């Protein structure tokens, strides 16, 4: 958690520096960031209720009152009581206030344009998408919606890449592990039998975050093999891994398999938990040297 707190604070420091909110006056104006935000809310409301401004912006009542008094003194706003309820104070921009806000709004657009223009088009899109993700996540902190779907073009490469990245970062495997995953995915893409082999991608907020494949095992008899199970760290704890394994097992049963195996290595507690919960039992294990590491290779078995 401390690393995440540090990352958020680092982002805040960098972004506030970039857009100049640390200066005494925002956008080379005599007004602070808070004051310009109050102007923005009044301008977009047409006529705003002071109590509503206070609640929306989470401002102290006295602080907001001083801001509105300054605006009134500068000729930017007009304050009056509601005809329907004298307890309600209404605020609207004057002609001078509208002109000042329009100038500030244009300067803000120019500032962000200068921030974006040096970036290549693709990086601009990724930046905006990242900002939209931050906004959605903070607006709705509840668990994000996820779903499983069939494979689409591009998924096989993604599966090989993400396996390679995760196992290099977390287990220290060299590039030969990614090559193995790419070979498995390529073999599936070239000549899998759709009657008895299939694959699925898990998506979270429309982005791939997990995968699993049901393939025919290279052993005697009609035996299924669970392969390339992956759940990205950001998507763990949502039930995605359990759903991927369950979908794979359901397909295997419907395809007529009577047993399923999987090959893995020791030291992956999250995956092991899923396998044990699904009913797999350890069939055999032996030490091997693979992908630049000494590993304990394991075969697991399940009667369907």
Band of residue 14 on the pLDDT scale cut at 50, 70, 90: confident
Q: Would the pLDDT of 190 be above 70?
A: yes
Distances (CA, A) of 175 to 170, 232, 271: 13, 19, 22
Mean pLDDT of 278-298: 96
- Do 128 and 153 fall within a single domain? no
What is 169-222 written as a DSSP string? HHH---HHHHHHHHHHHHHHHHH--TTT-EEEEEEETTEEEEEEEEEE-SSSSS
- Strand ranges (E), the chain: 48-49, 77-81, 89-93, 146-150, 198-204, 207-216, 224-231, 259-265, 281-290, 293-303
- Do 87 and 165 fall within a single domain? no
Q: Would the pLDDT of 297 be above 90?
A: yes
Contact 225, 261 (CB under 8 A): yes
Nearest to 238 by CA among 134, 148, 146, 166: 146
Lowest-pLDDT choice from 113-127, 192-206, 274-288: 113-127
pLDDT tens figures, 195-250: 999 999 999 988 999 999 999 999 889 999 999 999 999 898 899 999 999 999 99
Give pLDDT, residue 3.
Answer: 82
- Do 194 and 234 fall within a single domain? yes
- Do 299 and 155 fall within a single domain? yes
pLDDT tens figures, 137-168: 788 766 668 999 999 999 999 999 999 999 99
- Do 115 and 164 fall within a single domain? no
Give pLDDT, residue 223.
Answer: 96
Supply the mean pLDDT for the chain. 91
- Do 11 and 124 fall within a single domain? yes
Which has the higher per-residue pLDDT, 85 or 269? 269
Domain range enclosing 234: 146-303
Q: Say how many CA atoms lie within 13 Å of 243 toward its Cβ.
A: 18
What is the percentage of the chain residues whose pLDDT exceeds 70? 98
pTM beyond cutoff 0.75: no
What is the rounded (10 degree) CA torsion for 117, 123, 126, 127?
-40
Give pLDDT, residue 142.
Answer: 66
What does R_g of the chain's alpha carbons equal in angstroms?
29
Structure tokens at 131: 């900002």
């Amino acid at each position: 958690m401390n690393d995440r707190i540090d990352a958020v604070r680092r982002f805040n420091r960098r972004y506030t520096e970039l857009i100049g909110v640390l200066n005494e006056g925002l956008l080379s104006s005599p007004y602070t960031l808070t004051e310009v935000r109050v102007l923005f809310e009044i301008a977009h409301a047409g006529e705003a209720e002071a109590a509503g401004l206070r609640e929306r912006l989470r401002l102290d009542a006295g602080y907001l009152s001083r801001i509105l008094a300054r605006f009134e003194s500068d000729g930017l706003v007009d304050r009056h009581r509601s005809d329907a309820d004298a307890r309600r104070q209404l605020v609207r921009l004057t002609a001078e206030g509208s002109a000042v806000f329009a100038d500030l709004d244009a300067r803000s657009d120019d500032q962000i344009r200068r921030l974006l223009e040096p970036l290549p088009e693709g990086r601009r899109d990724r930046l905006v998408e990242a900002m939209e993700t931050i906004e959605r996540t903070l607006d709705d902190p509840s668990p994000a919606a996820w779903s499983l779907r069939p494979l689409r073009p591009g998924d096989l490469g993604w599966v090989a890449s993400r396996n390679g990245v995760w196992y290099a970062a977390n287990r220290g495997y060299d590039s030969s592990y990614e090559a193995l995953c790419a070979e498995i995915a390529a073999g599936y893409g070239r000549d899998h039998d759709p009657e008895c082999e299939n694959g699925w991608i898990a998506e979270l907020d429309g982005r791939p975050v997990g995968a699993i494949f049901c393939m025919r095992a290279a052993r005697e008899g009609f035996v299924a093999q669970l392969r390339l199970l992956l759940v990205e760290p950001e998507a763990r704890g949502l039930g995605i891994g359990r759903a991927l394994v369950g979908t794979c097992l359901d397909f295997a049963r419907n395809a007529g398999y009577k047993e399923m195996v999987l090959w893995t290595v020791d030291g992956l507690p999250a995956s092991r938990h899923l396998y044990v919960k699904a009913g797999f039992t350890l069939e055999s294990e032996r030490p091997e040297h693979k992908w630049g590491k000494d590993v304990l290779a394991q075969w697991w078995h399940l009667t369907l």
